[in-house]
Structure 1
Amino acid sequence: MTRTSFGKTQPDASLEAMQGGLGEPIYQSQRIFRSLMDAMACPGTIKPVATDARPPFPMFPLTAAVLATMADADTPVWLDGTMKDNGALKDWLTFHVGAPLADEPDVATFAVLSGKRDMPPLESFAKGLQDYPDRSATLLIQVERLGNKPDWSLSGPGIKDTQLLTVSQLSPLFVAQWQENHKLFPRGVDVVFIAPDAIVCLPRTTAITLGHPASSDKQDH
């Protein structure tokens, strides 16, 4: 179906929303789910992940693929910045993911954030209850690059000694906010950093120390 504007035929918005979903969705979702579980079990480990999803800008294809894998009709999704006002993106998510869009961050099961300076504080999101810590949010934070330079030293369950990590284009307030989030355990949010071609998981059990501890002999990779 098309509509006409100034004598030109344009694609109907509903048809545009139907395009760009996961190719072979069952196989691709299973593969992405395994990558996410492996990354959550090994915090700070960079996991390359490929997808053919094509959501509207500014959502990364890989972010859209993670949502299509993890979210459903019972998991509200909150979008920050320009994403929340992007009608084409919201239509795409409604068609391909089927999750309701949350108006407020504290009711979301998943939230998609730009990692830049103006990202909302972590305390804005659901942190779960002491008896039900699973009632918390998972934040999908889009970043420019992921690497293993010694900007951060991670420690905690799933990490032998320390794991080095650098996250490019991230709010300078994140580390202080994460340290407060870590203190809330078993409550707190979990984070998935998403670069254009890879993910890193940061469960609430993981501690961040700035820099590379002098006592560690772990090498960059």
Structure 2
Amino acid sequence: MTLADLKPGFADAVFEAQAGFRALLDAFAYAGRITTVDLNLDPPAPLDVAMAAVALTLFDFDTPVWLEPAVAAGSVAGWIRFHSGSAIVAAAGEAQFAVVCDAAAMPALTGFSVGEDRYPDRSATLVIQVPSLTDGPVTRWTGPGIDGSIEVAIAGLPDDFWAQWDDNHALYPLGIDVIFACGREVIGLPRGIKVEV
């Protein structure tokens, strides 16, 4: 890929990164709620706007990133390296962030870092692009940031995803966190949230 082929990142890096960060903070503070990422981006395929905004907002030279093989083989790896400075790692367990665009075929959650007893923050955050945040099987979420419970219906996940999530939740305060992305919207799923199917 040459510079001429490189898709742009944020037009106003400071303002747009702040807007993206506010949206992601809201998504995690109010787990299960859909948060709109109100940014204009033209990311490389197969990233949608929300996924690209997460990458440009959170990835930097200190955050190793794992890309699913099909994504790593395209122009996304070069785009992320150029705009964020992140190293692209081959092993999922070495990543601080993981980019998954084919949610149905994603690897098991156990393949990612859950942190360490003394450093639970050294876990991975998975950014999973899905076909819909509203048209999937209904699940009930409870935990920090949720008043009582909330129903969430994310489409396109593996059949055993929520069973895997139960195992991840049981590791708290260790465990991975997840950001679901679709179009211009995200939903945050912190490790402390319990999900009932």
Classify the TM-score, shorter chain. Answer: over 0.9
- Equivalent residue, structure 1, for 2:120: 133
Tell me whether 1:13 sits opposite 2:16 in the alignment.
no
Which one of 167, 172, 180 corresponds to residue 159 of structure 2? 172
Which one of 91, 94, 116 corresponds to residue 78 of structure 2? 91
Asked if structure 1 preserves the Cα contact closer than 8 Å seen for 2:137 and 2:154, the reply is no
| Percent of aligned pairs sharing the same letter | 36
- Equivalent residue, structure 1, for 2:140: 153
Q: Which has the higher strand share?
A: 1
Tell me whether 1:53 sits opposite 2:36 in the alignment.
no
Cα distance in structure 1, aligned partners of 2:81 and 2:108: 26
Cα distance in structure 2, aligned partners of 1:203 and 1:75: 19
Asked if structure 1 preserves the Cα contact closer than 8 Å seen for 2:71 and 2:101, the reply is no
The letter for the 1-side match of 2:71 is: M
The letter for the 1-side match of 2:48 is: F
The letter for the 2-side match of 1:75 is: T
- Equivalent residue, structure 2, for 1:27: 15
Cα distance in structure 2, aligned partners of 1:194 and 1:117: 14
The letter for the 1-side match of 2:154 is: V
- Scaled by the length of structure 1, the TM-score of the pair is 0.85
Asked if structure 2 preserves the Cα contact closer than 8 Å seen for 1:148 and 1:164, the reply is no
Structure 1: segments with no counterpart, 5+ residues: 1-11, 211-221
Q: CA 1:36/1:186 → structure 2, altered by over 3 Å: closer, same or farther?
A: same
- Equivalent residue, structure 2, for 1:219: none
Q: CA 1:150/1:124 → structure 2, altered by over 3 Å: closer, same or farther?
A: closer
Give CA deviations for 1:31-85 in whole Å, capped at 9, x if unaligned: 1101111111111010011222222211222211111111110100100031011
Q: Secondary structure at the match of 1:146?
A: coil
How big is the shift at 1:136?
A: 0.2
- Equivalent residue, structure 1, for 2:68: 80
Cα distance in structure 2, aligned partners of 1:149 and 1:81: 25
Asked if structure 2 preserves the Cα contact closer than 8 Å seen for 1:14 and 1:91, the reply is no
How big is the shift at 1:14?
A: 2.2
Find runs of 4+ consecutive structure 1 residues off by over 6 angstroms. none
Asked if structure 2 preserves the Cα contact closer than 8 Å seen for 1:153 and 1:209, the reply is yes
The letter for the 2-side match of 1:126 is: S
Which one of 173, 181, 189 corresponds to residue 194 of structure 1? 181
- Scaled by the length of structure 2, the TM-score of the pair is 0.95
Larger radius of gyration: 1
The letter for the 1-side match of 2:179 is: V
Cα distance in structure 2, aligned partners of 1:71 and 1:158: 25
Root mean square deviation of aligned Cα: 1.5
- Equivalent residue, structure 1, for 2:25: 37
Which one of 108, 121, 142 corresponds to residue 95 of structure 2? 108
- Equivalent residue, structure 1, for 2:58: 70
Q: CA 1:23/1:197 → structure 2, altered by over 3 Å: closer, same or farther?
A: same
Q: Secondary structure at the match of 1:130?
A: coil
Structure 2: segments with no counterpart, 5+ residues: none
